[in-house]
Chains A and B, each alone.
Chain A
Amino acid sequence: MNSLLTIRRIVVAGLLGAITILLGATRAGFIPVPTPLGDATIMHIPVIIGGILDGWLVGAILGLFFGIFSFIHATIPMFKDPLVVFLPRILIGITTALTYRGLRRSNEVVAVIVATVVGTLTNTVGVLGIGVLRRYLPLPAAVGFGVAAAIPETILAAIIVVAVVLAWRGVAARRRTADL
């Protein structure tokens, strides 16, 4: 049995991956102002949750899923570039997990929120940044899109991630003390 990829990590990554695929396939969009990042708006959330609950490897794998989905369903030139699509997404999981791990000792809720913000920004800044570097977007446009997209994305992600993580901690604790 692989010591890094335990059964728990495999299954959680699989299930959260299923949510990622579901969100991507049903195109659940949110931002009223349609930006080219339309399909990134909530698909980063499973990645962040995976990173927080089960570590950087699960986060990175979910980021890969996010990337694959983005790649397949993208119809904009910039999103067909593997570097733009995969690198930041894989980093989302890693930065989120590391941030959470680092801050967890001081305050659980704060750690979750900050980790979520870091994760969302990794996505937005990463994707747009590499887009600019690879010359798909001029810098001012990237900054404009970035600000317009990042703010609602971050707030929404923070709300959902905190709700899910805290609820799950409660549920998981109750399950462990359940009778057998």
Chain B
Amino acid sequence: MESFEVFRHVTIGQYLPGESLVHRLDPRAKITVVLLLIAAVTFSTSYTAHLALLALTLGLIALANLPVRYIVSGVRPALPFILLLALMQLFVYGEAAASAVRGSAVLWQWGVLRVTAGSLRLTLVSLARLLELLLLVSLLTNATPTTSLTYGIESMLRPFARLGLPAHELSLIGTIALRFVPVLGEQFETILKAQASRGANLRFGGRLQFVRSAQQMVVLLVPLFLNALLRAEDLILAMEARCYGGGRGRSHYVRLRLRAPDYVAMALALVFTAAVLAARNALP
């Protein structure tokens, strides 16, 4: 039995505090920029576009003073799978990728396995996308406290409230969830210890697989879910007792204000994304 401290490994896209330009931007600006860049990444298939995007995302990470090595190290455990899938894409998709991704020139062939310019592009672009998205998401979560993110998201969804989207309620769900993660984490550890002390068979296999069988999971998960549902009942009662009335007409203590750097960042992202998407087919 290695350790009961499950919670040590919990990182929810860990916030790394700092004073960089990126840290100080309004969360709404950051979300907008990241969403635009994600669109640019997802929809480009040209080598040029991805080189530019890689340079841009690495540059942004540097601007935020975030440790690139830390971010990229998350990929290490999955490296064998990434390679396996990349190889499969490379060799098996020759035909299919030919028309879809520009390139029917056969580069290499051996029996059934065939590499075309198309499948090569597909594979390389997929790998580039992986890195870019990893960096972009890290940029958002590592440089913004989670509470700011939820305020930002709620603020951005608020205009849609007029069309019936329950912006406030949705962000409240997010806030409640984040609020209860440490509580339930502690609860989970307690359950772990309680069950172990009652003789439950729990064999730990390290960080990635700390329980091995369905039975072991059941004795841990069922109490966890029931505990969560009981806490939910208490919270519901508390909110009703305080006459919680939803989001309509609600004012806010925390106010987000967009300033010049925010507008500049969003404008630049918009221009960049538009350029990348417009030139999609023109570049190699």
| B residues near A28, Cβ cutoff 8 Å | 210-211, 217
Q: Which of B48-56, B177-185, B263-271 contacts A (4 or more CB under 8 A)?
A: B177-185
A137 to chain B, nearest CB (A): 7
Chain A: number of interface residues, binned into ranges: 35 or more
Which of A13, A21, A38, A77 is in CB contact (< 8 Å) with B126? A77
- The A/B interface has a contact count, at CB < 8 Å, of 196
Convert B148-172 into 0s and 1s, putting 1 for each residue whose CB lies closer than 8 angstroms to a CB of A.
0000000000000000001001101
Q: What secondary structure prevails in chain A residues at the interface with B?
A: helix
Chain B: number of interface residues, binned into ranges: 35 or more
Contact flag A136-B89 (CB < 8 Å), given A19-B184, A75-B130, A76-B82: yes
A117 touches B (CB below 8 Å): no
B242 to chain A, nearest CB (A): 10
Contact, CB under 8 Å: B240 / A7: yes
Contact, CB under 8 Å: A76 / B88: no
Contact flag A26-B218 (CB < 8 Å), given A7-B239, A71-B137, A135-B100: no
Contact flag A72-B226 (CB < 8 Å), given A14-B176, A18-B177: no
In the complex, the 8 A-B pairs of residues with the closest C-beta atoms, listed nearest first = A14-B176, A17-B177, A18-B180, A75-B78, A1-B246, A77-B126, A80-B133, A5-B169
Residues of A in contact with B (beta carbons under 8 Å apart): 1-2, 4-5, 7-8, 10-22, 25-30, 32, 34, 36, 38, 42, 45-46, 49, 53, 61, 65, 71-73, 75-78, 80-82, 135-138, 141, 152, 155-156, 159-160, 163-164, 167-168, 171-172, 175
